[in-house]
Structure 1
Amino acid sequence: MPSHRATALFVAALVCTTSLSSSGLRAQTTVTSERPASFTLDNGLQVVVIPDHRTPVVTQMTWYKTGSADETPGKSGLAHFLEHLMFKGTAKHPAGEFSQTVRRVGGSENAFTSVDYTGYYQRVPREQLPTMMEFEADRMTGLILKDEDVLPERDVVLEEYNMRVANNPDARLTEQIMAALYLNHPYGRPVIGWHQEIEKLDREDALAFYKRFYAPNNAILVIAGDVDIKDIRPLVEKNFSLIPAQHAIPEKRIRPQEPMPAAPRTVTLSDPRVEQSGLRRYYLVPSAATAAAGDSPALDVLAQLMGGGANSYLYRALVIDKGLAISAGADYQRTALDPSQFSISVASKQGVEFAPIEEAIDKVIADLAQNTARAEDLERVKTQLIAEAVYAQDDQATLAGWYGGALTTGLSIDDIRSWPDRIRAVTAEQVRDAAAKWLDKKRSVTGYLIKDTAPKHKEKRS
């Protein structure tokens, strides 16, 4: 059984080369790689082929456009639960055969669930792709579930919850912040689910979700590696073309949306297991799919300016200048179908109160919202972002992940390919305006993680 992880894969650029100019570190990025081939079968299955002929290896990723945000209220964790159950076999291939085959040919596999998508992938020698594709097509509609398989797997998920969330104060804080940030949208539910709802999930729930969402017209097949489009299309048609579309699946997912944020919110989590106190602040911001033109890349650049490494503004203010923290960072989660999050994370020094930390954070944000960033800082972070995309071309699984994550959350191949150009075009004024508009405290939830030092009272015996 592969390891299971809830993950969020970020959209980035894949198609650029970088040179250094004599005037300093300046990314000169040009689209040079071939555009990935893409086609759609009559049953709605979208296929993306990303050639990479450097090694005789291929990565197959099957993405379903459904995640935890598509679950029926009261059934949280169902998308992730089904991800586990997809390894329980079909009438044609009993449980374990798929994974054993991957291991036997020296390959690797994994699966992941997020708020917007669920994915399954295999990385194998290129000659094994037909076998992998046959297995994956078979379990798109051929899954067989028995109570003797489902109920023990539910226990596995509950144990995963205990390990990753219940016994992890940091994860519990994130869970609580997200629930407070989203008052109405299902992004407020944890991907793994709420414990009391996970323990009630059953075979019928899993099969209903499977039959509702697992279909070719709700899936994207991404093939990256040592392949040619002329060979891939006949192979895909052979394995997937006879699978019928599920016409009840709507073309566009419509979820409950957030009301206009009216007030900042705070969450405090106190736990005796906390080893490092810290502060997090999440802002509700547009994703790449929902943002107006220019807003998403400006938020990318803003996050890098504020929290991208030791030269970032937050790190300088909190760690170097004031000595209040041991680390500080910022992140923008651009890959989402609906409005997403901009986050700030600080690990405080021992004995430091949160008030001066928040004051320093607020000052950094106020400075960015009122003044344009220095030209050399702006150029540095834009170069860093574009360079990350250049380096990522070395990993075909990363490329497949970026395309899959983007396509399942409302973006296009052209959106992915043009990302470095949009980053390069971001102006200091756009960054200033993004800070002023989106990093408004009314749009935020601030979470405090503290150690619970209260003595435990023993229960008296009568």
Structure 2
Amino acid sequence: MRSTLLRFSFYLMLCCQTAWAASDAGTPNTHEFQLSNGLKLIVREDHRAPTVAHMVWYRAGSMDEVNGRTGVAHVLEHMMFKGTDKVKSGEFSRMVAAVGGRENAFTSRDYTAYFQQVEKSKLDEVMKLEADRMSNLNFDDAEFLKEIQVVMEERRLRTEDNPSSLLNESLMATAYMSSPYRHPVVGWMNDLENMKAADARDWYRSWYKPNNATVVIAGDVDPKVVLQVVEKYYGAASARELPVRKPQVEPTQKGIKKVQVKAPADSAQLAMAWKVPKLQPGKLDDDEPYALELLAAVLDGYDNARLNRTLVKQERVVNDVGVGYDMISRGPELFLISTSMAKGKTVEQAESSIRKALKEIVDHGILDSELKRIKVRILSEQIYKRDSIFGQAMEIGSTEMAGFSWRDIDVMLERMQTITPAQVQAVSKKYLVDKGLTIAVLDPQARKSSESKQGDNRAVK
């Protein structure tokens, strides 16, 4: 569990009637275009290998869903592989594989994205396929009924049969009152059981439009040529008015929330989550989110970070510990610490050790040498990430979906280098307090015997 900047891998002027391009002297290998139908195109040149990553990002994720239809964003992701008038169900993946490429898709709280990685001469072919299903998705009710069973089985295997996932699901549902972040991306089972093909079609018609999409292409490409091909395939799609997005501002929390989950597991687990601020678009000079990023790294940014060193190696109260914080996102954010208990240790002991480690930072701060080491590590990891063409496309797309520009990435990294130990200490003192805390505990239950398990095996269809 790491922060956004730690997790994600991080012009010329051209004008015509249907597109414009912006250029930045600091990043001459990145080019941004806007098509007349509202689609944004970002091209990152990287000529080190004859390959290209092609990604389409729709700014529609689980946070855009409404009660009773949770999980529909993820279900539609599945249905996008079920064919168009030109491409039969199941043929999309086969056609990408036939040109030596790999492809997949993923849904998050903030967006849904589709990608292909191919040899550069095959870019036109996968772009044609992706543009086709942006406008011409066509699946029947029978296809939907088969696929919704696959999604329900996915929920069973990845959530209901996974104690850590169950704990996180209950944590989010307890921490948030108003924000749609309280719903799981995969959806609640009852909503999946009652979902209809019409729900998926409505989602597609509402959100899968060029004016709600960003195409990111990274690799060994010529931006001028890419723009022409994108105009050819994506330019025909029509813009459409998007649904009104309600703000759904999360009410201020006024005290500790607690939830207990009983599930088969080998050991107890503890998760502690605090309400914290995030970085806002246009306000890149807000120091608190950067300080929280660095606090997460102080606690869990490397093998000998504070929590791992104290709780795992010295006190041996937990088997593992993780810290999570996303500085950029569309919705509200949590600063999360999660652990699983070591044999013979209790949740109360783990919570006490975590609180003690946090109090040490609140009372005494962190060393300047400690913070410098973390900053160097962040920069070095960023350099390594940019060795990956796909990683560059991921970083650009995820940043854009959160409401920022790819131009902000380096600004954020530079700003983080200016944060002081006193600022890290200040945010820990200000935000890691009980009034904004939610605690989730997994109470482990005995697992079924191997004999009874054999009669209850399930497999994804």
User: TM-score if structure 2 supplies the norm length?
Assistant: 0.89
Which residue of 1 is the match for residue 69 of structure 2?
75
Query: Within the alignment, does 1:395 sit opposite 2:388 as a pair?
Result: yes
Which deviates further from its counterpart, 32-41 or 279-288?
A: 32-41
Give the share of equivalent positions with the same residue, in percent: 34
Cα distance, 1:239 vs. partner? 0.9
Q: Secondary structure at the match of 1:387?
A: helix
Kindly provide the CA deviation profile for residues 149-181 of structure 1, in whole angstroms up to 9, marking residues without a partner as x.
100000000010111011111110010001011
**Aligned partner of 2:279: which letter?**
A
- Aligned to 1:61, the other structure's residue is in SS state strand
Amino acid at match of 1:166: E
Any gaps of 5 or more consecutive residues in structure 1? 1-6, 16-30, 457-462
Determine if contact 1:11/1:405 at 8 Å carries over to the other structure: no
Residues 438, 333 of structure 1: CA spacing in aligned structure 2 closer, same or farther, 3 A cutoff?
Answer: same
Q: Provide the C-alpha distance between the structure 2 equivalents of 1:236 and 1:226, rounded to a whole number of angstroms.
A: 16
1:309 aligns with 302
- The alignment status of 1:66 with 2:57, answered yes or no, reads no
CA distance in 2, matches of 1:238, 1:432: 53
Task: Provide the residue aligned with 1:280 in structure 2.
Answer: 271
- Equivalences for residues 150-169 of structure 1 within 5 A: 150-169=144-163
Q: What is the RMSD computed on CA atoms of the aligned residues? A: 2.2
Partner of 1:355: 348
- Distance in 2 between residues matched to 1:8 and 1:356, nearest whole Å: 24
CA contact (8 A) 2:2 2:301 kept: no
Deviation of the 1:244 alpha carbon:
1.0
Match of 2:20 in 1: none
1:33 shift after superposition: 5.5
Paired amino acid for 1:79? A
Residue in 1 that maps onto 2:438: 445
**Equivalent residue for 1:18?**
none
Would you say 1:426 and 2:419 are equivalent positions? yes
Q: What do residues 339-385 of structure 1 show as CA deviations (whole Å, max 9, x unaligned)?
A: 11211122221111122221121122222223331011111111112
Q: Tell me how many residue pairs correspond in the alignment.
A: 433
Query: What is the aligned partner in structure 2 of residue 262 from structure 1?
Result: 254
Partner Cα distance (1:448, 1:214) in 2? 39
Partner of 1:239: helix, strand, or coil? helix
Cα deviation for residue 32 of structure 1 reads 7.1
Which one of 314, 321, 326 corresponds to residue 333 of structure 1? 326
Q: Secondary structure at the match of 2:278?
A: coil
Shift of 1:235: 0.8
2:287 equivalent in structure 1: 294
1:100 to 2:64 alignment? no
Q: For 1:390-427, what per-residue CA distance to the aligned partner results, in whole angstroms no more than 9, with x for missing partners?
A: 11011111111111111011111221122221221111
Contact 2:273 2:334 in 1 (8 A): yes
SS of the equivalent of 1:289 reads coil
- Post-superposition CA distance 1:211-264 (Å, at most 9, x none): 0001000000000111121111111111111211112445xx433111111111
1:408 matched to 2:392: no
Amino acid at match of 1:421: E
1:205 maps to 199
Partners in 2 of 1:118 and 1:9 — Cα distance?
20
SS at match of 1:255: coil
**Counterpart mapping for 1:20-35 below 5 A:** 34-35=28-29
Where 2:117 maps in the other structure, the secondary structure is strand
The 2-side partners of 1:283 and 1:422 are apart by 24
**In the alignment, residue 363 of structure 1 is paired with which amino acid?**
K
Residues 1:172 and 2:166 are matched in the alignment: yes
In structure 2, how many angstroms separate the alpha carbons of the residues matched to 1:351 and 1:365? Answer: 23
User: What amino acid is the match of 2:196?
Assistant: D
Deviation at 1:72, TM superposition (A): 2.1
Cα 1:9–1:400 change in 2 (3 A) is farther
The answer to whether the aligner puts 1:435 opposite 2:422 as a matched pair is: no
Amino acid at match of 1:430: Q
SS in 1 for 2:334: strand
Inter-partner Cα distance in structure 1 for 2:289 and 2:438: 20
**Which whole-Å deviations, capped at 9, do the CAs of 1:90-129 have from their partners, x for residues lacking one?**
1122222221111111111010000110000000111111
Counterpart Cα distance in 1 of 2:446 and 2:193: 31
Partner deviation per Cα, 1:422-458 (whole Å, 9 max, x = no partner): 22111112111111122122212111123224999xx
For structure 2, which runs of at least 5 residues remain unmatched after alignment? 11-24, 450-461
CA distance in 1, matches of 2:148, 2:322: 36
Q: CA deviation at 1:191?
A: 0.2
Q: Which of residues 101, 107, 114 is equivalent to 2:108?
A: 114
TM-score by length of 1: 0.89
What's 2:188 paired with?
A: 194
User: Does the aligned pair in 2 maintain the 1:318–1:325 contact within 8 Å?
Assistant: yes
2:456 alignment partner in structure 1: none
Instruction: Out of 258-267 and 154-163, give the one that drifted further.
Output: 258-267
Aligned 8 A contact 1:289 1:338 in 2: no
Corresponding letter in the other structure for 2:200:
A
User: Hey, what does 2:218 align to over in structure 1?
Assistant: 224
Is the counterpart of residue 372 in structure 1 residue 375 in structure 2? no
- Name the CA distance, whole Å, in 2 between partners of 1:412 and 1:88: 33
- Contact kept? 1:304, 1:331, Cα under 8 Å: no
| Mapped partners of 1:435, 1:236: distance in 2 | 47
The answer to whether residue 129 in structure 2 is matched with residue 135 in structure 1 is yes
How far is the alpha carbon of 1:306 from its aligned partner? 1.0
Q: d(CA) in 2 for partners of 1:349 and 1:189?
A: 30
Which stretch of the first structure deviates more once superposed, 423-432 or 151-160?
Answer: 423-432
Letter in 2 for 1:206: A
1:313 is displaced (CA, Å) by: 1.3
Secondary structure at 1:246's aligned position in 2?
A: coil
Displacement of 1:285 in angstroms is 1.9
Q: Is the 8 A contact 1:68 1:79 kept in 2?
A: yes
Residue 84 of structure 2 is matched in structure 1 by 90
* Greater alpha carbon shift after TM alignment, 259-268 vs 188-197: 259-268
Q: Could you say what secondary structure the match of 2:360 adopts?
A: helix
User: How far 1:14 moved relative to its partner?
Assistant: 6.9
SS of the aligned residue for 1:208 comes to: helix
Query: In structure 2, how many angstroms separate the alpha carbons of the residues matched to 1:287 and 1:227?
Result: 35
- In 2, Cα distance between the equivalents of 1:9 and 1:192? 22
Q: Distance in 1 between matches of 2:321 and 2:33?
A: 44
**8 Å CA contact 2:9, 2:388 repeated in 1:** no
- 1:246 aligns with one of 210, 217, 240: 240
Shift of 1:310: 2.8
